[in-house]
Amino acid sequence: MKSTFRFLFLFSMWLLPQIAGAIEPPPQKPAIQWIVNDFPPFLVLSGEGMTVDISKAKGPFASIYQEIERALPAYSHRFVRVSFSRAEKLFSGQGGYCTVLLQRTKEREKFLIFGDELARAFPVGLVVHAKDTPGIRDEQKDVDLKELLASGKFRLGVIQSRAYTQQIDDILSHSGHATKIVGDSAMGNLFLMLERKRVNGVLAYALEKTDYERNNIAVPPLKFLKVKNMPNHISVWASCEKSLRGEQILKDLTRAVREKNVKRKIYKYFMQELPPDMKKSYRDLYESPP
């Protein structure tokens, strides 16, 4: 009897830790909070609210985010829809915030650390009505934006807190009432304002114009003007908040984007979508050194 009791006692001492281990919740994964926003056609989000289901998003950067999520299983991933201006405040904290869709600027380097260049694109241009735009000749192919805005008669639509390149950002900062500032994620609204002639032109990427025309059949003829004195391209980078946590995440993120060959995939997307007369220039741009 004593031996039976002793066996049961020892067995229970062994069993209790096993039961405790079975019911104890697994250790919590460190989190990455991805800052995302609607950026058609590159990233198109579905649903409303702040939290985004990235599996339902569309566009090349939606696919990239989904691949990165699978490549970093040691992290939990939360995708947060936040405006450009609000994002800057979040990046200044310690919340594990990252993104793959921002340009690198001196101002952003104050609160962000940057990893790999993920994509190159031709810079924004000025989208206007093909005919009868104030200050623009119908046959015109490029524009001196500083001179145009200095006239005080041209109403320009822009996205608040979007980085357009240092050259354009400097012009906008001194343009005063000539510029119409519109809220974040409002590219579609800007094009609608242009259609209704509430603004005379909007700053946009060529593929943003193409995407809007593709999805809105009754759009009047628009044209894309190059802005003079611009760099030959802009880049977007993997980036995380400037903190110890952000540094660790960025190391893992850099490894993932290299393994997934993200830059090549974005290049293929542009080569598929760009007009034929722009493809050679883009191929040369992609192949040029950083």
pLDDT, one tens digit per residue, over 1-36 is 555 545 444 445 554 455 445 455 556 889 999 999
The reported pTM is 0.82
Which 3-state string (H, E, C) describes the chain?
A: CHHHHHHHHHHHHHHHHHHHHHHCCCCCCCEEEEEECCECCCEECCCCCCEECHHHCECHHHHHHHHHHHHCCCCEEEEEECCHHHHHHHHCCCCCEEEEEECCCCCHHHCEEEEEEEEEECCCEEEEECCCCCCCCCCCCEECHHHHHHCCCCCEEEECCCCCCHHHHHHHHCCHHHEEEECCCCHHHHHHHHHCCCCCEEEECHHHHHHHHHHCCCCCCEEEEEECCCCCCEEEEEEEECCHHHHHHHHHHHHHHHHCCHHHHHHHHHHHHCCHHHHHHHHHHHHCCC
Rounded mean pLDDT for each run of 10 residues along the chain, 290 residues in total: 50 50 64 92 87 94 96 96 80 88 91 95 95 93 94 88 88 79 75 92 94 89 94 93 95 96 95 90 87
pLDDT tens digits, 140-186: 999 999 999 998 889 999 988 788 998 999 999 888 767 777 765 67
